[in-house]
Every structure is written in C-alpha cells, then in structure tokens.
C-alpha cells in the first residue's frame, strides 16, 4: 500500500494505481473516487488528471495491470506443476488452482477486473491469462490429450468451469473448508471439463464461436497485420 505523500518523482502513475487497488479492497469496485485515490497518495486531483483523465481510465489501467500480473502468475504455476513435463493436464490443473486461489485471496480486485468493460479495445496486456490458457490447451492437444475436433473454443469451456467455481466460492454460494480441499475440488472441475472435451464429437454446424474483449483485440490485430498497405500513387 502507498503511504500518503510518499512516492518517488515520476512514479505518480504507479502510486495512483496502488492507491486505487487498496481502495477497491476496502470498499469494493465502485465505492471510491479518483479524488480519494489522489488524496491517499497526497496530490491534488488536477495532478492525477495528467495520468488518468477519469476514474474509469484509472480503473481500466488497474485492470490491465492486474490481468498482466495474473497471467504471469498462472504461467509460473504451470511451470511449477508436478509432472508438468510428461502430463500437460497437470499444468492445466495448476492453472485452475492458481486462478481460483487468486480469486479467493483477492475477491474485490478479482470482481473488478473480471467484469464486462474492465478492459477496452486498445488495452495492452502482456501475458494475458487467456493466452496462457490457450497455450496450455494447445500443448495438451499436441500431446494427444485433446482431440483436434474438440480444440476450437475449448478455452471458453474450461474458463467457464474454473471461473464458475471461483465465483461460487467467493460469493459464498458454496463452501469448501480448507485450502487443500479447494485445490482438490478445483482439480476435479478441471479434469471433468477436460474429460468431457476429450469425449465430445463436433456438431455438423461446428461449435458456436465465443468471443471476449481480449480475443476481439487479437482478431483486430491479426486483421491489421494481414491487410496490405495501399500505395497511394496508384
């Protein structure tokens, strides 16, 4: 947490993000203002406007920073998974546990960044959690643990299962006593989703195409990269 009036020159941007993060934990996603974040750091709102034009832009920047941090955490969880070299499914179990445990450890921030509109069309998020999940499912498919017909959209199926468990736990709709029991339940959910995917057959019309803000950004980026430049002299 940032102490009022204590930040190094040039770090006001980060200090405001830290203050916003602390306020989210204390009051929830919507119970604070940019003015309050400024006061917590020890600067005037006008100074903050040089970095964030509004509270919404501060929230969006916090969401982007948090998702980048979460993506790196999940990537590391996969790399530390037992049997990770020989069993890609263990890597996905580790990813699921990392996601659920993060939501339980930091529920207010999790609610903030995982709701609609948390990021925008121009958000830049290195190591996005979705990309980590996609890479791990590709790894599983390459190892023969997921049929090619089941691979399209599998990330949305598994994310729905993991996120659903996280929300049920953080909102108190189900109760599981002890972190070890939560890990076991998460493993069961991940394995059930993966086993279901492994046994399904694709419908004749194919699976519905699911999208998220991140996948839409990726699609726009790929489209812009593949569009040839127009020679204005012709």
pLDDT at 116: 82
What is the residue-averaged pLDDT of the chain? 90
Kindly list the domain boundaries of the chain, sorted by start residue.
1-53, 66-226
pLDDT at 233: 52
pLDDT at 8: 52
Fold of 66-226: Tetracycline Repressor; domain 2 (1.10.357)
pLDDT at 208: 85
Q: Is the pLDDT of residue 230 over 80?
A: no
| CB within 8 Å of 2: residues ≥ 6 apart | 15, 18, 19, 22, 40, 41
**Percent of the chain surpassing pLDDT 90:** 71
pTM of the entire predicted model: 0.88
Tokens coding 6: 């204590």
pLDDT at 220: 87
Nearest residue to 113 (alpha-carbon basis) of 57, 76, 59: 59
Nearest residue to 12 (alpha-carbon basis) of 51, 46, 68: 51
Fold of 1-53: Arc Repressor Mutant, subunit A (1.10.10)
pLDDT tens digits for range 134-169? 999 999 999 999 999 999 999 999 999 999 999 999
Tokens coding 112: 């903030």
When pLDDT is averaged across residues 83-108 and rounded to a whole number, the result is 93
Q: What separation, in Å, do the N-terminal and C-terminal C-alpha atoms of the chain show?
A: 58
């Amino acid at each position: 947490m940032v102490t009022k009036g204590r930040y190094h020159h040039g770090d006001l941007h980060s200090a405001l993000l830290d203050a916003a993060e602390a306020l989210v934990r204390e009051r929830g996603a919507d119970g604070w203002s940019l003015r309050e974040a400024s006061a917590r750091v020890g600067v005037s709102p006008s100074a903050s406007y040089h970095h964030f034009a509004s509270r919404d832009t501060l929230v969006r920047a916090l969401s982007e920073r948090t998702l980048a941090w979460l993506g790196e955490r999940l990537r590391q969880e996969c790399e530390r998974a037992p049997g990770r070299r020989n069993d890609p499914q263990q890597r996905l179990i580790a990813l699921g546990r990392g996601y659920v445990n993060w939501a339980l450890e930091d529920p207010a921030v999790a609610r903030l960044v995982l709701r609609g509109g948390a990021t925008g069309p121009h958000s830049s998020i290195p190591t996005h959690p979705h990309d980590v999940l996609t890479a791990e499912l590709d790894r599983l498919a390459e190892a023969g643990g997921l049929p090619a017909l089941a691979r399209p959209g599998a990330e949305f199926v598994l994310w729905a299962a993991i996120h659903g468990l996280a929300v049920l736990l953080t909102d108190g709709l189900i109760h599981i006593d002890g972190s070890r029991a939560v890990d076991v339940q998460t493993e069961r959910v991940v394995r059930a989703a993966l086993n279901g995917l492994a046994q399904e057959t694709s419908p004749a019309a194919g699976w519905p195409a699911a999208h998220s803000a991140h996948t839409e950004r990726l699609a726009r980026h790929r489209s812009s990269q593949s569009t040839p430049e127009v020679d204005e002299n012709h």
